[in-house]
Amino acid sequence: MDSPAIRDSTVLVTGGAGFIGSHLVDALVPHNEVRVLDDFSTGDPAHLPDDATVIVGDVGDPIALQEAARGVDVIFHHAAVVSVTQSVDNPRQSNRTNLEAGLLVLEQARQEDARVVVASSAAVYGHPAELPVSEAAPTDPTSPYGVQKLALDEYARLYAELYDLPTVALRYFNVYGPRQRGPYSGVISTFLEQARADEPITIEGDGQQSRDFVHVSDVVRANLRAAATDAVGEAYNVGTGERTTIRELAETVRDATGSSSSIVHREPRPGDIRHSGADTTKTARELGFEARVGLESGIRSLVERDTGVPTRGDPEKAVELPGE
């Protein structure tokens, strides 16, 4: 089932020049007035289409936020400090962006009577007791980042209950795709860089830890669903429902790139979650959303975008990003 179109709306995307936010902007621009609020501390202005209105500013600045949100119908809140390590090193600073600014967004949305779609995270679950992990599972975050995402997730629910503000929280699992760069990019982009350079693909730990990798195009589709659903005041997992070990991931990347890289192991990161995988039952039932992009085809599409050379695989399973 295709995502319902958002048309003829005024939309704000905070963090809209970032990895996920910029893809969302691309999907929204053809049929909406789209504004982006971004301080470009990590986002890239080159990722933004000319048709988007850009407000350069900090989402934690009430004046900048008020200017950006005036008269909007929907706010997609993606501005965040996404590095778990950075949140551990400086929890107060990350709290300002991840929680305090999120509260400002919810308050501004009340003033505008606007729907809010909040980017949350699977980090709220911590070490899951059972897999796949459902939205009803215990929440036990293991980092300040996870605590901050959980608190905003709960605030979104509470604003729906107390103030009748339509909110949806999307708990992303491991998102990957084009434009994922920088020191805090995901393991897939790191493995791809190593494989392209024929350097050793480095796994932290034994490689048997597993993750649910979801392509950014699917994450955009989930956001579009969340912007149209009647099932508000809820949190939803955004993943594929499939788990892949990190060793399997490294082998898939090496095969897709045709690299001669060896696969090596080093000491595991302290406190690293062993296994993570989404139960997508509620998301499919209430949002009508299911991921479409398999991991192998998603990785091959990244290789093709960077090289322009088709890789082995099923041409019928090519990845098409919303808005392209």
* pLDDT tens digit sequence for 125-167: 999 999 999 999 999 999 999 999 999 999 999 999 999 999 9
pLDDT of res. 1: 44
Same domain? 228 vs 309: no
Residue 165 and residue 180 in one domain: no
Helix axes of 246-257 and 295-307: crossing angle, nearest 10 degrees:
40
What's the domain range around 39?
10-174+215-238
Residue carrying structure tokens 């605590």 = 147
Mean pLDDT of the chain: 92
- Identify whether 159 is a catalytic site residue: no
Residue 161 shares a structural domain with residue 262: no
Report if residue 324 sits inside a domain. no
117 domain residue, yes or no: yes
Q: How far apart are CA 197 and CA 211, in angstroms?
A: 25
Interval 8-25: pLDDT, tens: 999 999 999 999 999 999
Same domain, 306 and 196: yes
Q: Is residue 265 part of a domain?
A: yes
**Could you tell me if 140 and 184 lie in one domain?**
no
CB count, 10 Å around CB of 306? 12
Q: Do 128 and 188 belong together in one domain?
A: no
Distance of CA 187 to the CA centre of its chain: 14
pTM of this structure: 0.93
Please check whether residue 167 lies inside any domain of the structure.
Answer: yes
Q: What percent of the chain has pLDDT over 90?
A: 87
What whole-number distance in Å separates Cα of residue 324 and Cα of residue 312? Answer: 23
Decide if 54 is inside a domain. yes
Q: Are 214 and 319 in contact (CB under 8 A)?
A: no
51 pLDDT higher than 70: yes
**In angstroms, rounded to a whole number, what is the distance separating the alpha carbons of residues 308 and 189?**
17
The answer to whether residue 59 sits within a structural domain is yes
Among 282, 281, 150, 289, smallest CA distance to 217 is for 289
Phi, psi angles (nearest 5°) of residue 34: -115, 130
pLDDT band at residue 322 using 50, 70 and 90 as cut-offs: low
CA pair distance 17, 24, nearest whole angstrom = 10
CATH number at residue 248: 3.90.25.10
Residue 182 and residue 225 in one domain: no
CA distance 293 to 218: 7
**Total count of domains within the chain:** 2
Q: Domain for residue 288, yes or no?
A: no
Q: Do 148 and 204 sit in the same domain of this protein?
A: no
In a domain, 283, yes or no: no
The Cβ of residue 16 has, within 10 Å, a number of other Cβ atoms equal to: 30
Q: What's the length of the chain?
A: 324
Q: What is the DSSP letter of 53?
A: E
Same domain, 95 and 204: no
From 145, 155, 159, 236, active-site residue: 145
C-alpha span between 209 and 217 (Å, rounded)? 25
Rounded Cα distance, 287 and 278, in Å: 15
113 lies in the same domain as 232: yes
Spatial contact of 210 and 107, defined as CB atoms under 8 Å apart? no
Does residue 110 sit in the same domain as residue 220? yes
* Residues 96 and 229 both lie in one domain: yes
